[in-house]
Amino acid sequence: MTPTQRHHVVLVSPEGEPKGTAEKLEAHQQGWLHSAFSLMLYRLNQDGEREFLLQRRADSKYHSGGLWTNTCCSHPKKDEPVAAAAKRRLYEELGIARPLDFAMGPVFIYRAELDNGLVEHEWDQVIACEVNHVETILNPDEVSDCRWWSEQDIQAALADSPEQFTAWFSQVFAHICAMTPAHAMA
């Protein structure tokens, strides 16, 4: 992010009520609670098992660079509905522009110490969306890779090498698994 590209986040109360805005980097330096969303696209494979589209954050990101995470996560702008923010960022990060049917899941609050002395403290809206097929065009400033992971592969990787994932991913993944169907009926 260049100095002329100042992004702001919406500061919120623990109940999610807006309390103002702050520059994004400052909010992460101070650990202020702010509004966010975590979106996960998933599909059922031919065996009826869930697969999840994960992205690997660009190495150049100001925090959590090079780590795997959910399909898309970011912050709504002031007065921007969360679903609109999710659609906007899905396009900006992964080039996905087609209409999608989002399922709004739970909200959870987390606080995590990050690299570079930053703190992620978010009031995080979980969003799931089942898709059959999507084409991606990765924005290299945001994403270095993306691929479909089976539920079992994610669980194994979280158990064996959790450091390859963002601080928030395991919680998002648990919420997504609780709100999406595990197996198609045969």
Distance (Å, rounded) from C-alpha 173 to C-alpha 11? 24
Instruction: State the pLDDT at residue 48.
Output: 86
Phi and psi of 95, rounded to 5°?
Answer: 70, 20
Q: Which residue has the tokens 């690299």?
A: 115
120 annotated ligand-binding residue: yes
- Name the active-site residue from 51, 72, 73, 146: 73
Q: Which domain holds residue 175?
A: 8-179
Query: What are the pLDDT digits (tens) for 49-79?
Result: 899 999 999 999 989 999 999 999 999 999 9
> Is position 2 within any domain?
no
92 is an annotated ligand-binding site residue: no
d(CA 146, CA 133): 14
Nearest to 106 by CA among 173, 26, 29: 173
Residue 166: CB partners within 8 Å, gap ≥ 6? 57, 64, 67, 68, 69, 73
Is it the case that residue 2 has pLDDT exceeding 50? no
- Give per-residue pLDDT as tens, 82-105: 999 999 999 999 999 988 999 999
pLDDT digit string (tens) for 6-53? 689 999 999 999 999 999 999 999 999 999 999 999 999 888 889 999
> What residues form DSSP beta bridges with 147?
54
User: What CATH number did the domain enclosing 169 receive?
Assistant: 3.90.79.10
Residue 108 within any structural domain of the chain: yes
49 is catalytic: no
Residue 123 falls inside a structural domain = yes
Residue 140 structure tokens: 């290299």
What is the distance between the terminal CA atoms of the chain, rounded to a whole angstrom?
Answer: 49
Instruction: Find out whether 13 and 19 touch, Cβ atoms under 8 Å.
Output: yes
122 marked as part of a ligand binding site: yes
% the chain with pLDDT above 90: 84
69 strand-pairing partners:
55
Looking at 23, 26, 92, 122, which residue is catalytic? 122
Consult the annotation and say whether 51 binds a ligand. Answer: no
Query: Is 73 considered catalytic here?
Result: yes
- pLDDT at 115 (0 to 100): 77
Confidence of residue 184 (pLDDT cuts 50, 70, 90): very low
Examine residue 185 and state whether it is found in any structural domain, yes or no.
Answer: no
Q: Are the CB atoms for 124 and 107 separated by under 8 Å?
A: yes
Q: Is residue 52 part of a domain?
A: yes
Whether residue 1 is contained in a domain is answered as no
Do 142 and 61 form a contact (C-beta atoms < 8 A)? yes
Please state, rounded to an integer, the average pLDDT across all residues of the chain: 92
Confidence class for position 182, pLDDT limits 50, 70, 90: low
Domain count, the chain: 1
93 is in an annotated binding site: yes
